[in-house]
Amino acid sequence: MDGRTGRQLLRQEVTEGIKHYILENRLRPGDPLPTEAALCEALGASRSSVREAVKTLHALDIVEVRHGHGTYVGGLSLAALVESLTFRGMLGADDDMRVMADLLEARELFERGLAERIAAGASAEYLDTLDVLVARMREQAAADGADGAGFVEADRAFHAHFVSASGNALIGQLSVAFWDVYALVAPYLNVVGPGDGQDTVAAHQRIVDAARAGDADGLSAALADHYAPLRRRLAESRARAAAEANTGESAAG
């Protein structure tokens, strides 16, 4: 075993040791971890090994380092997943266009799977929040268009709130993570933009109206109609990229 492999194994052992400490002590996000010196003593590791392990866990949002205050249990978000999928998408190969299509399909499946539950029992407060977010989208579309930061933030908030009806934190995190990846990668892959913001607003309004009417079939159909243009734009960009690649090969030949 060379020195580098030995260091990697040691860092992995210390990393697992910190994770085990969090689990064993039933710590929650925001709870403080022991000092670096205490971790070294508890794990029988050097300061450098503990620091490397903390860096690894920080990148995964398992721990949070607050300079001048200490180390805490992190938010345990899916930030690492977003980073990984975003980088993969930005490689730009046709296979990665497929990844983008899969992300859209997953989001649609999450949301359409909630249609019956939302139509049957969504609270007035839940529906009112969706209406507020649609109104915000409408205002931002009129002010800055569908590419503006305000519109994008309202759109993201709408879908995050929509899936919150599942009561499943993992579904909520995954849905928002997939939304973030698509939003980050789509411009990089030259996926055609959202077009007329008011059309997008109208699509979201139809979703809310069907939910408020208690119409599960109508809600499912409204969600399908909302995702259809996204799938079409992605397919068009995929075809355009393939055509450009073929043109390049022909020119080279």
The CATH number assigned to the domain holding 193 equals 1.20.120.530
**Residue 54 shares a structural domain with residue 92:** no
Model pTM greater than 0.85? no
What pLDDT score was predicted for residue 247?
67
Residue whose C-alpha is closest to residue 134's, from 217, 220, 215, 226: 226
Cα distances (angstroms) measured from residue 150 to each of 154, 196, 205: 6, 15, 17
Q: What token pair was written down for 57?
A: 């866990």
**Residue 56 shares a structural domain with residue 113:** no
Report the pLDDT averaged over residues 25-32. Answer: 91
73 beta partners: 63
**Residue 152 shares a structural domain with residue 190:** yes
**Residue 91 shares a structural domain with residue 56:** no
Cβ atoms of 108 and 227 within 8 Å: the answer is yes
Report the pLDDT averaged over residues 70-77. Answer: 84
**Residue 95 shares a structural domain with residue 52:** no
**Residue 120 shares a structural domain with residue 143:** yes
Q: How does residue 1 score in pLDDT terms, banded at 50, 70 and 90?
A: very low
Cβ atoms of 54 and 69 within 8 Å: the answer is no
Residue 70: φ, ψ to 5°: 135, -165
Which of residues 13, 43, 73 is at a domain's end? 73
Which of residues 49, 73, 97 is at a domain's end? 73
Cβ atoms of 10 and 40 within 8 Å: the answer is no
Which residue pairs, CB below 8 angstroms and at least 24 apart, start in 110-114?
A: 110/163, 110/166, 110/171, 110/174, 110/175, 111/159, 111/162, 111/163, 111/175, 111/223, 112/220, 112/223, 112/224, 114/162, 114/163, 114/165, 114/166
Number of domains into which the chain is organized: 2
Residue 32: φ, ψ to 5°: -75, 145
The CATH number assigned to the domain holding 65 equals 1.10.10.10
Q: How does residue 61 score in pLDDT terms, banded at 50, 70 and 90?
A: confident
Using one digit for the tens of pLDDT, what is the confidence trace for 96-155? 577 778 888 989 999 999 999 999 999 999 999 999 999 999 999 988 887 788 998 999
Using one digit for the tens of pLDDT, what is the confidence trace for 187-240? 766 665 555 678 899 999 999 999 999 999 999 999 999 999 888 887 777 777
Which of residues 73, 94, 126 is at a domain's end? 73
**Residue 53 shares a structural domain with residue 136:** no
User: What percent of the chain has a predicted confidence (pLDDT) above 70?
Assistant: 79
Q: List the domain range (segments joined by +) for residue 203.
A: 79-252
